Amino acid sequence: MSDKSKDRRVVVTGLGAITPIGNTVDEFWQSLIAGKSGVATITRFDPVDVPVKIAAEVKGFDPDLYIESKAARRMARFSQFAVASAKQALDDSGYVINESNSEDVGVMFSTGGGGLDIMQEASVSLKEKGPRSISPMFLPALIGNMASCQVSLTFGIHGPTTSAVAACATGIYSFVDAYHFIQRGEVDMAVVGGTESFITDLGIVSLSNMQALSRNDEDPTKVSRPFDATRDGFVYSEGAASAILETAESAKARGAHIYAEVVGGAFTCDAYHVTAPAPGGAGAALAITRALKYSGLTPDDVDYIAAHGTSTPLNDAAETAAIKRALGDRAYKVAVSSNKSMIGHSLGAAGAISAVATIMAIQEGIAPPTINYHNPDPACDLDYVPNEARHMPIRAAIVNGFGFGGQNGVLALKKWEE
């Protein structure tokens, strides 16, 4: 890395969100700090024959508000979410992409599962109606890189367009990759995000048989309870979130509003198990430690952590252990919360949604709550901002994303200062 690239500070100038508690950033943020849950009975298919009947679905989404109708019909839902949130972020930033700058703009937009929903539908159609029922656009619609490619196509972006696949850490990978692209001087701006949408009976049954989902049949809004002693699995979710990352020099020259500064991040792998976290959170702790090191931060700089916090017994205990291992005594003085208590776990979109929430938390000076937290667990003994948002200064924050296969991603953010 050259000295010149080290001087390229990376800032956030635009945000977008399509979530179970709001289809704009403002709706999402206001619902988040109010502790509103987006979990309800599944409507995307009839859940009568599946063991889990709740999810956190995106409600009232109209792709025609963001995408030309013909193009929207050729996209899977996860790509529609990506383009919609990206358009929100671009509009928010005021950054105009044109022939003079399109080669210096990148897209780092990722998904965990891609179009598994249309794969399931096509499999049924092939069996029941035969080969002629399969659209020639079937494969181009479902593959995971289509989220980033559709963003590039829609907005005429000619720079590097990438798609990380890192399960539940995917959204974090996109942000950290974009930070590095800008730092190296390969692009001046990047559209960054994560997206997911495959709430299907196949997906629900698979995760349920894995014993990853809660089977609690009480009030759906109270089922997701990260770090609580009675937690028994996560709630499946969908959604997308985007951000515009650019050089501070570019943002200031445009007079753009700067939400926060991206200062680095890190990736590690547990190399332990396909689905379970490493005991004691060793891999996650290493990612946190390296993210702080690469960002020039110390544990004492961190005021808030957006936890991965899935509401599963193993994950929440391992993440708590990882935070304590990486931050030492400082861990007990940091606010830690999980938005999955309200919006469930959207897999490939989760890290991006948490990043957008954390950027808003830094700007507004508010730590979102972890709702449904009532029963302390001795294995989870940190400050989880229980049930009510907290007004507090946030100088620096980290965002955790830990995925199947043991992939760990941590993003570091700071309050913007000249």
Picking from 351, 348, 341, 365, the residue whose alpha carbon sits closest to that of residue 398 is 351
374 is catalytic: no
Of the residues 149, 180, 269, 345, which is catalytic?
345
CB 237 within 8 A of CB 56: yes
In the set 158, 168, 180, 273, the catalytic residue is 168
* 116 and 203 Cβ atoms separated by less than 8 Å: yes
DSSP string computed for 107-119: EEEEESS-SHHHH
- Catalytic residue, chosen from 149, 158, 308, 391, is 308
For the packed helices 77-93 and 146-155, what is the interaxial angle rounded to 10 degrees?
40
- Do residues 415 and 395 touch, judged by C-beta distance below 8 A? yes
**CB neighbours of 22 closer than 8 A, spacing ≥ 6?**
28, 29, 30, 31
Backbone torsion region of residue 17, taken as left when φ is above 0, otherwise alpha when ψ lies between -120 and 50, otherwise beta: beta
* Catalytic residue list contains 380: no
CB contact set of 128 (below 8 Å; sequence gap of 6+): none
Half-sphere exposure of 37 (CA within 13 A, CB side): 19
Task: Specify whether 149 is catalytic.
Answer: no
Catalytic machinery residues = 168, 308, 345
